[in-house]
Amino acid sequence: MTRAALLVTHTGRRDSTEHARTVARDLIAAGFEVRVLTEEAGPLNLPGLTTVTGPGAAEGAEIVFALGGDGTLLRAAELARPAKAPLLGINLGHVGFLAEAEVGDLEQAVRDVVARAYTVDERLTLDVTVARDGEVTAQSWALNEVTVEKGPREKVLEVLVNIDGRPLSRYGCDGIVCATPTGSTAYAFSAGGPVVWPEVEALLVVPISAHALFSRPLVTGPTSTIEVVVEPYTVPAVLSCDGRRVFDVAPGSRVTVSRGGLPVRVVRLHPRTFTDRLVAKFALPVEGWRRGSREMREPGLDTS
């Protein structure tokens, strides 16, 4: 049976296109059917590729390669998730927190995939529904986060947050972030939320610039249901899922967020603790500034 891989990349960047060609050639040489999205096939300009389109692009694929930054990986996740195909991110961007490998690991990553020398983790996702007057107006999902934010930038959004059917607090704010552990290092982190290890099953609620006495980020259980009620007297809001799927939310709407019914399967090529990944991606000062201070105070050192 022919092995198949879907290749998703950022063809707007020349280096990304070249790296994608390298991966495609190596996979084809190993006997893989290499699929690419129709709109990306032209820039790749490589014989032997199978062009695909639509949400079923990854159906039956053994693996999905995402070559680019976190935006490319999130785009690839939209195709990998319904097909339950493992997703392998190769970072060609800046931070690339979701990626498993860097560009220097590219050839080894392909060899590991060919040899099936990898494991697969499941990442918790979010399902979200928007309803108004009992009618569903939008439904979607997210790997990183769901945000409910004010539409007019000069206004304040008034919301009520309920947890498990019970009222928690009202906020005048720029918005509310509901995030997964995977998304804890993304928008939620920038809004002041905690970093949560990926294997921890939890949901995060992080108010954005809330004008309230209680505006701390919250960590709930994975079975909790979070409801953000956009007050009927406030401004229109915008719902964003991973920054990719965006919906208008009218005043009086209820946005319900819960654990997703379908996870995203993520490839792991080699054992590496999340602590090491966190230190590397955020360039954390493991040594700290105090070590330099101690050295400067040691006898015999010229501190002038």
Q: Which residues are catalytic?
A: 70
39's CB contacts (< 8 A; 6+ apart) are: 11
DSSP 274-287: HHHHHHHHHT--SS
Q: Which two tokens stand for residue 278?
A: 């966190």
Q: Determine the angle formed by the axes of helices 14-29 and 106-114, rounding to 10 degrees.
A: 30
Backbone φ and ψ of 72, nearest 5°: -65, -40
What's the one-letter identity of residue 230?
A: V
Residue carrying the six token digits 């999205």: 37
- Cβ atoms < 10 Å from Cβ of 240: 19
- Gap between the Cα atoms of 186 and 44, Å rounded: 30
226-230 and 175-179 as β-strands: parallel, antiparallel, unpaired?
unpaired
